[in-house]
Amino acid sequence: MKVAVYSLYYPDKSSESFDELIDVLEQNSVDIYIEAKFYNQLISEEKKINKLQSFTELNESFDLLISVGGDGTILRAITYVRNLSIPIVGINTGRLGFLATIQIDEIKTAIEHILNGNYKTSERTLLSVETNPENESLKETNFALNEIAVSRKNTTSMITVDTHLNDDYLTSYWADGLIVSTPTGSTGYSLSCGGPVITPDATSFVLTPIAPHNLNARPLVIPDDTTIKLKVDGREDQHLMSLDSRIVTLSNATLITIKKANFKIKMVELLDESFIDTLRQKMLWGEDKRN
């Protein structure tokens, strides 16, 4: 089996988890490839990585990608996986860990289950974006697993986001910004702005305004085959657009078109895991001390 390992940084908790992960993979005779920047960091810290190799890109020969970190690490890891259909699993050394579901005290048991094929996969819908005029920085990574959001840049004033759905005018949001979220992203930024939680297998997106000034501007759930067009106006000539954790600056003359991406990401889940369990455990869903 050929496995890629990705991580963003190397604090104590991630270091211990990484070492345990490598031990488990080596015990199971796995071919291990470490993302190049992380690999070089290990070398600089004089870690023993003689048997490990590095990668700068992935291809169809990889069987699995393991992310060591939090949910943000997984969001960056998908920029390597793209449309290759390589299953992804996350070891959670961060905080909440809604996507990175393997806890640090479960690494050996969970990884051995996965290596033995005792797992299931959840296919996650992504968003893709095009801009007119075209933005060079989006040519390679114009997709997002959680959300695409537009927001104000160098101002404390609100912006206006003209919004069309399938070429029908919806409204002009007067707000700090607007989030277009996938079901996966519905438990992230969108939720913190008042959006609903959507189960991962739902065929929906949600539009969630960020701090809207209109009292009747509320989150809107739409079919995931909808084409969304946005145009921003405001006191500044530029605004920000974020794709998960990646940010670009756009001029207010830019037309933004957001659609469902033409590929999906496969998230690995253990057989005893479910989204409902995660919702209850991570979000304390419906918990009431009176009961």
SS3 per residue for the chain: CEEEEEECCCCHHHHHHHHHHHHHHHHCCCEEEEEHHHHHHHHHCCCCCCCCEEECCCCCCCCEEEEEECHHHHHHHHHHHCCCCCCEEEEECCCCCCCCCEEHHHHHHHHHHHHCCCEEEEEEEEEEEEEECCCHHHCCCCEECCEEEEECCCCCCCEEEEEEECCEEEEEEEECEEEEECCHHHHCHHHHCCCCCCCCCCCEEEEEEECCCCCCCCCEEEECCCCEEEEEECCCCEEEEEECCEEEEEECCCEEEEEEEEEEEEEEEECCCCHHHHHHHHHCCCCCCCC
Q: Please indicate, yes or no, if residue 234 is contained in any of the structural domains.
A: yes
Would you say residue 33 lies in a domain?
A: yes
CA distance to 6, 31, 159, per residue, from 1 (Å): 16, 6, 50
The parts of the chain modelled with pLDDT lower than 50 are none
Q: What is the pLDDT of residue 43?
A: 78
The CATH number assigned to the domain holding 163 equals 2.60.200.30
pLDDT at 21: 93
Same domain, 62 and 140: no
- Please tell me whether residues 143 and 209 are part of one structural domain: yes
Is there a contact between 267 and 179 (Cβ–Cβ < 8 Å)? no
Report yes or no on 10 lying in a domain.
yes
- Which of 79, 95, 117 is a domain's end point? 117
Q: Given this model, what pLDDT does residue 10 score?
A: 64
Is position 272 within any domain? Answer: no
77: CATH: 3.40.50.10330
- The parent domain of residue 176 ranges over 126-262
Q: In this structure, is residue 40 part of a structural domain?
A: yes
pLDDT digits (tens, 9 = 90+) for 232-290: 999 999 999 999 989 999 999 999 999 999 999 999 999 988 888 888 888 888 888 88
In whole angstroms, what is the distance from residue 13 CA to residue 41 CA? Answer: 16
Residues 56 and 151 in one domain: no
Assess whether 63 carries a catalytic annotation: no
Provide the pLDDT for residue 262: 96
* Tens digit of each residue's pLDDT (9 = 90 or more) over 151-166: 999 888 999 999 999 9
Residue after which a domain boundary falls, among 76, 99, 117: 117
Q: Are residues 154 and 178 in the same domain?
A: yes
Same domain, 89 and 195: no
Distance CA(66)–CA(203), nearest Å, equals: 27
Q: Are residues 102 and 138 in the same domain?
A: no
In the chain, the percentage of residues whose pLDDT exceeds 70 is 97
Pair (64, 152) in one structural domain? no
Count the domains in the chain.
2
Domain boundary among 84, 117, 150: 117
With respect to residue 285, please indicate whether it lies within any of the assigned structural domains. Answer: no
**In this structure, are 205 and 158 located in the same domain?**
yes
- Catalytic: which of 23, 71, 176, 277? 71
Domain identity same for 16 and 106: yes
**Residues 142 and 105 occupy one common structural domain:** no
pLDDT at 277: 87
Instruction: Indicate if 160 and 244 belong to the same structural domain.
Output: yes
